[in-house]
Amino acid sequence: MSIADNIKHLKTQTVPKKVSLVAVSKTKSAAEIQEAYDAGQRLFGENQVQEMVEKQEQLPKDIQWHQIGHLQTNKVKYIAPFIAMIQSVDSLKLLQEINKQALKNNRVIDCLLQIYIADEETKFGLGFDEAIELLRSEDFAVLKNIRIRGLMGIATNTDKEKQLKDEFNELKVFFDGIKQSFFRKDDNFNVVSMGMSSDYEIAIAQGSTMIRVGSTIFGERVIKHWKNN
Ligand SMILES: *Cc1c(COP(=O)(O)O)cnc(C)c1O
């Protein structure tokens, strides 16, 4: 099936209307992204700053770009002028830099806190306690040019359905608690970003409001530079 067919299939068959679909286009060419765009897709996710910036320059300006991979503080300035959402906030220091660069660009940048839910030794994401500590801190309270829209999580790379279900459920329960404690009056705190190609149906059943899907739309990723794809 073509990229356009894959998007249409997702949007009409498997993804409920209330769930946002982020097309993960890392390693894919500008032409492939344009094909998805022409099929109506507007949200795209990338994990490399340089790659996103170059694509952003080439592609239609109403694309909403989401940063989904670990972001180094010294690279925030390159995406601050246009980024729609930074999903991978994993420290107060990064949030402070996003705030600073957003201010310089006269913007408020939407962010998700990335929460560590997998049963794996991955490097990135806040633990539950760390996220709470961040939200309670005075250093956080003064940041006026970022807006926390919700939480993001990546489940363990496994095909054990029970484990995936439990991890997604844990994130959703944590989201509900955080909403209650810190964002009760804030209708914009409404994003639970969880689920990728292999597990998005389980994630949606557990309350995901935003899925990040790459290979199901664009096909498997080959390890080649995106300009040569
Ligand atoms: C690559 C990536 C995805 C998409 O993965 P697929 O399995 O191709 O759907 C989703 N989320 C993050 C954070 C990623 O890095």
- Looking up residue 83, the CATH number of its domain turns out to be 3.20.20.10
Q: Encoding tokens for residue 169?
A: 């459920």
pLDDT at 136 (0 to 100):
98
Q: Whose CA is nearest to atom 12 of ligand 1?
A: 68
Torsion of CA 69, 75, 81, 83, to 10 degrees: 0
Q: Which domain holds residue 133?
A: 3-218
Ligand 1 mutation pick, 65, 122, 196, 221, max ligand atoms within 8 A of CB: 196
Total tally of structural domains belonging to the chain = 1
- Asked if 118 contacts 97 with a C-beta cutoff of 8 angstroms, the reply is no
Whether 48 is in the pocket of ligand 1, judged by its Cβ within 6 Å, is: no
pLDDT tens per residue, range 125-182:
999 999 999 999 999 999 999 999 999 999 999 999 999 999 999 999 999 999 999 9
Whether 24 is in the pocket of ligand 1, judged by its Cβ within 6 Å, is: yes
Whether 214 is in the pocket of ligand 1, judged by its Cβ within 6 Å, is: yes
Torsion of CA 53, 57, 60, 63, to 10 degrees: 20
Residue 223 falls within a domain, yes or no? Answer: no
Whether 66 is in the pocket of ligand 1, judged by its Cβ within 6 Å, is: no
Q: How far apart are CA 122 and CA 4, in angstroms?
A: 33
- Asked if 111 contacts 85 with a C-beta cutoff of 8 angstroms, the reply is yes
In the chain, which stretches have pLDDT less than 50? Answer: none
- Asked if 176 contacts 192 with a C-beta cutoff of 8 angstroms, the reply is no
Residue 225 falls within a domain, yes or no? Answer: no
